[in-house]
Amino acid sequence: MRQARVQAWRVALPIGLGLAVTACQVAVAFLVARILTTLLGFSTGGGWGDLAGAGALMLASAGLGGVQELAQQSAGEHARARIRAALFARMLELGPADPRGVGEKAALLVDRVEALDGFFARWLPAMTLAVLSPALVVALVWRADWVSALVLACLGLLVPVAMALTGIGAARESRRQLDVLGRLAGRFVDRLRGLATLVQFNRAEDEARALGAAAEEFRWRTLRVLRVAFLSSAMLELLSAFTLGYLAWRHGALMVGRGASDPTLSLFVVLMVPAFFAPLRAFSAAYHEAMSARGAAAELAPLLEALPAAGLLLEEVPRRVALVFNEVELRHPDAPKPALSRLTFALAPGEVLMLVGPSGAGKSSVLRLLMGFARPTAGRIAVNGQDVTRLRPSELRRLSAYVGQRAHLFGGTLRENIRLARPEASEAEVIRAAEAARVMAFAAELPQGLDTPVGEGGHGISGGQAQRVALARAFLRDAPLVLLDEPTASLDPGTEAEVMEAIARLCTGRTAIIATHSAALLGLSGRVLELGDRRLADAG
């Protein structure tokens, strides 16, 4: 609803168009009633003019309905775009601190957000029109026959009651369906990414059966949602049929002598029943979309409503940084032991520190602390003498350039992938960064140089070349703090030597922390900090 208030005019437009459609339907019903009474011999008021007017109003009603549908689609698209952008920004802010898997994140960004479309595009307009349009019809019918108007009003009020009775079950089943879909999507993506490992250990058939069972559960949940939806539609059609039958019987009896009745008004009242129930039928159809949207919003709300991280902003990024860890401890929830315990070291501006130790010793935790993706549970981290916990995490990331173990390249050109580090950079700066990282050494042999397209994940170039593109990003970012996490892992010795040369240039004049197992890479610095359960040594 907060998002709806932001774009209130986009929601109000289809409501106004819906009222115009109802007004056209009322006018058509009256003209058709005049024509029918003339054809049946009850009066002589109807003629060709009424027929032409009814045809024109029908065309106008169809045109207004088409425009209303476009306005509803626009409202839904803009709402989903706003929510998806906010959700994506929040996920980027959380970074590695978000425990969700890739598949679950994709389900949130795609499936959950798409499930909100019906709420903005159909439910909000239908909810308002379900009140205004029937009220307009009842007011007009009241002038013709107050008893008929009372019958319409009473049976119309039963529609929300029927929707509420079925909606409780629909919301519960829809929420369960979305939960199953999220688990299915996450499992599918994770297993697809690890398909080579599954085949290697002969587990592909077992995982295929498990995915089949999850898909069967999703099919069963979907059918349960549809069953509840069909039940509510049946109740609405029953109310509509009863109303039409009763009013036809009542006015038929009045016309054959049981009371004074104008034939034109009697037919008008009967013809108004479809116009009365049309917005209620749209309300019923949109009701289940609203239930689905509420099920999706239950998972999105904690992310979207989270308060932005507090902290100070940097006036400018310093050119050089000194770094101090003083008795720093980091504990993860439910972890049996701390990821870091009483870590202490200091780095002068321009100094390079090597972090070594077994996997799980805390090397990556140090880097996460410096990028603001985690906060120390004890101790103090200072940059240029200032406590980093006073800074907003996003500001802390402005100080650093990070290169991980496996560089991810997006679908696009090499130039576009390098420019991601600083989109406003000039062409000359991009070229200098590419030369410093030795990207130009292999780009010159490609058909289009830096404008050569690569596939998602760096498809089309080698792992060492992708790593040099990542280093070019770090050169272009030109941050005073360089953080490298296993930058030469999985590289052959020749490629590792080329990448090490680029790393040496990148670290020159910058404060750098490099987490590595590579013995060759240790030669870049005389400062080595070994992390582990038994040792915490800072040696030359």
- How high is the mean pLDDT of the chain? 83
Instruction: Quote the Cα angle for 421-422-427, to 5°.
Output: 115
Per-position b or e across 238-249, b if 16+ CB within 10 A of its CB: ebbeebbeebee
pLDDT of residue 167: 61
Average pLDDT value for residue range 197-208: 83
For the beta sheet containing 323-330, the strands, ordered from the edge strand earlier in sequence to the opposite edge, are: 340-347, 323-330, 378-383, 386-387
Q: What angle do CA 137, 139, 145 make, to 5 degrees?
A: 95
Of 444, 489, 438, 443, which Cα lies nearest the Cα of 463? 489
H or E element, residue 516: none
Q: Is residue 112 within 8 Å of 294, Cβ to Cβ?
A: no
Question: Looking at residue 120, what is its pLDDT?
Answer: 87
Count of other CB atoms within 10 angstroms of residue 322: 17
List the domain boundaries for the chain: 2-304, 323-539
- d(Cα 11, Cα 76) in Å, to the nearest integer? 9
> How much is the pLDDT for 415?
92
Q: Which of 182-196, 335-349, 493-507, 525-539 has the lowest mean pLDDT?
A: 525-539
Highest-pLDDT range among 30-34, 236-240, 414-418: 414-418
152 Cβ contact list (under 8 Å, min separation 6):
134, 137, 138, 141, 243, 272, 273, 276
- The two tokens of residue 118 are 């019906």
* Separation CA 311–CA 203 (nearest Å): 48
- State the Cα–Cα distance between residues 156 and 244, nearest whole angstrom: 12
In degrees, rounded to 5, the angle at the alpha carbon of residue 113 between the alpha carbons of residues 111 and 118 is 100
Q: How many Å separate Cα 478 from the centre of its chain? A: 32
Backbone angles phi, psi at 328, to 5 degrees: -80, 135
- How far apart (Å, rounded) are the C-alpha atoms in residues 187 and 103? 7
Architecture of domain 323-539 in CATH?
A: 3-Layer(aba) Sandwich (3.40)
Question: pLDDT grade, residue 427 (50/70/90)?
Answer: very high
Residue 534: per-residue pLDDT: 44
Burial class (CB in 10 A: 0-12, 13-18, 19+), 362: buried
Tell me the torsion sign for CA atoms 57, 63, 67, 72: positive
So what's the pLDDT on residue 63? 92
Query: For residue 539, what pLDDT is reported?
Result: 45
- Would you say 217 and 179 are in contact if contact means Cβ atoms under 8 Å apart? no
Burial class, 418, CB count within 10 angstroms (exposed 0-12 / middle 13-18 / buried 19+): buried
Angle in degrees, 0-180, between the axes of helices 8-39 and 124-144, rounded to the nearest 10: 30
User: What's the pLDDT at 169?
Assistant: 63
* Highest mean pLDDT of the ranges 37-51, 301-315, 319-333: 319-333
**CATH architecture assigned to 2-304:** Up-down Bundle (1.20)
Least confidently predicted of 42-46, 159-163, 194-198, 350-354: 42-46
* pLDDT at residue number 458: 80
pLDDT, residue 424, reads 92
- Say yes or no to pLDDT of 79 above 80: yes
User: Given this model, what pLDDT does residue 306 score?
Assistant: 65
pLDDT at 390: 85
Question: What percentage of the chain reaches a pLDDT higher than 70?
Answer: 92
pLDDT at site 474? 93
Instruction: Between 1 and 443, name the one with better pLDDT.
Output: 443
Q: How confident is the model at residue 540 (pLDDT cuts 50, 70, 90)?
A: very low
Separation between Cα atoms, residue 243 and residue 133, nearest integer Å: 17
Q: Which residues touch 192 (CB under 8 Å, ≥6 apart)?
A: none
Q: Is the pLDDT of residue 530 over 90?
A: no
Q: Are 326 and 344 in contact (CB under 8 A)?
A: yes
Position with higher pLDDT, 496 vs 70: 70
Cα–Cα separations (whole angstroms), residue 36 to 45, 47, 54, 250, 369? 10, 10, 12, 18, 80
Mean pLDDT value of segment 205-209: 84
Given this model, what pLDDT does residue 257 score?
A: 58
Average pLDDT over residues 440-459: 87
Task: Tell me the three state secondary structure of residue 355.
Answer: strand
Is the confidence at residue 383, as pLDDT, over 70? yes
537: pLDDT confidence band, cut at 50, 70 and 90?
A: very low
d(CA 127, CA 122): 8
- Determine the Cα–Cα distance for residues 3 and 274; give it in Å rounded to an integer: 33
pLDDT in tens, 515-524: 888 777 777 7
Query: Stretch 70-93: mean pLDDT, rounded?
Result: 87
Name the residue among 133, 4, 152 with its Cα closest to residue 65: 133
Higher pLDDT, 153 or 534: 153
Q: Among 102-111, 299-308, 349-358, name the one with the lowest average pLDDT.
A: 299-308
* pLDDT higher than threshold 90 for residue 429: yes
Question: What pLDDT is recorded for position 536?
Answer: 45
For 371, half-sphere exposure in the C-beta direction (CA atoms, 13 angstrom radius) is 23
Half-sphere exposure of 440 (CA within 13 A, CB side): 7
- The DSSP-derived string for 1-44 is -HHHHHTHHHHHHHHHHHHHHHHHHHHHHHHHHHHHHHHTTS-S
pLDDT band at 34 (very low <50, low <70, confident <90, very high): confident
- Which tops the pLDDT comparison, 419 or 162? 419
Predicted local distance difference test score (pLDDT) of residue 475: 93
CA-CA distances (angstroms) from residue 474 to 364, 414, 430, 527? 18, 14, 11, 22
pLDDT digit string (tens) for 339-367? 888 889 999 998 999 888 888 788 888 98
Give residue 229's pLDDT. 66
Q: Tell me, what DSSP letter sits at residue 194?
A: T
**What mean pLDDT is predicted for residues 4-23?**
86
pLDDT band at 171 (very low <50, low <70, confident <90, very high): low
pLDDT of residue 235 exceeding 60: yes
pTM to 2 decimal places: 0.63
The average pLDDT across 307-314 equals 68
φ and ψ at residue 407, rounded to 5 degrees = -70, 135
Q: What is the pLDDT of residue 471?
A: 92
More confident of the two residues 177 and 397 = 397
Q: In the prediction, which pLDDT does 472 show?
A: 93
- Using CB atoms within 10 Å of the CB of residue 137, give its burial: 0 to 12 exposed, 13 to 18 middle, 19+ buried: buried
